[in-house]
A and B are shown apart, each in its own frame.
Chain A
Amino acid sequence: MNEIIGYILISIGILFNLFGCIGMVRFPDVYNRLQAATKCVTLGTILLLVGVAVISADGPTGAKAIVCAVFILITSPTAAHAIAKGAYASGVPLWEKSIVDKYAQEKKDETAKTQGA
């Protein structure tokens, strides 16, 4: 029973990984790629590690898999945020069909506020 549940979790995780990587190859711009790839691959890898932990529930493998999953859950969004900010600061343009750029608006509001005061 444990094995069936674990392998189902691992299969769903690898499917998510595949979809994330397809998004990373197909999307037109850095920010879209980052959004697709990071979310899908984080969820997929966490599901995979939880599946490993479910199958080998007793023993050190399962415990280490859980620790690894928690670590990835914390670090992967942080890294993605840092890359997005770095890409914006290094001047990578948005896709030409992108509609809204909240970060630029926010920066403009802040500079207007500091100049007004």
Chain B
Amino acid sequence: MTVLYLGLLVCCFMCLYRIGMGPTAPDRAVAIDILGIVIVGFCGLFGLATGKDFYLNIALAWALLSFIGTIALAKFLEGRGFDE
């Protein structure tokens, strides 16, 4: 079980490296998107380990918010308003 957590933690740190070092703004947007998905996986593992199902609620909400945030970032990168 610890190995699984460690693998996901290494993924998170790689995403943080790309967020910090990414040369352009789209690199950072990609890394933020991937970090959100990895955290959804983390919440799934927590729900399995503790046997409590509210972690999966957190995972659902996190996936939703991550998707909306990524779409907003992409619109911003494209240089258009949010209502087009």
Q: Given the complex of chains A and B, what is the CA–CA distance between A25 and B15 in angstroms?
A: 8
A72 with B40: CB separation less than 8 A:
yes
Main secondary structure of the interface of A (DSSP, over half): helix
Q: How far is the CA of A113 from the CA of B75 in the complex (A)?
A: 27
Whether A72 contacts B37 in the complex (CB less than 8 A), given A61-B47, A90-B78, comes out as yes
Q: Are B45 and A10 interface neighbours, CB within 8 A? A: yes
B residues contacting A by CB (< 8 A) are 4, 7-8, 10-11, 14-15, 17-18, 24-27, 29-31, 33-34, 37-38, 40-41, 44-45, 47-48, 51, 53, 56-57, 59-60, 63-64, 67, 70-71, 73-79
List 24 contacting pairs A-B, 8 Å CB cutoff, sorted by A.
A10-B45, A13-B41, A14-B8, A17-B38, A20-B11, A21-B14, A21-B34, A24-B14, A30-B30, A41-B37, A41-B38, A44-B41, A52-B44, A56-B51, A64-B57, A65-B47, A72-B63, A75-B63, A75-B67, A82-B74, A83-B29, A86-B76, A87-B77, A89-B79
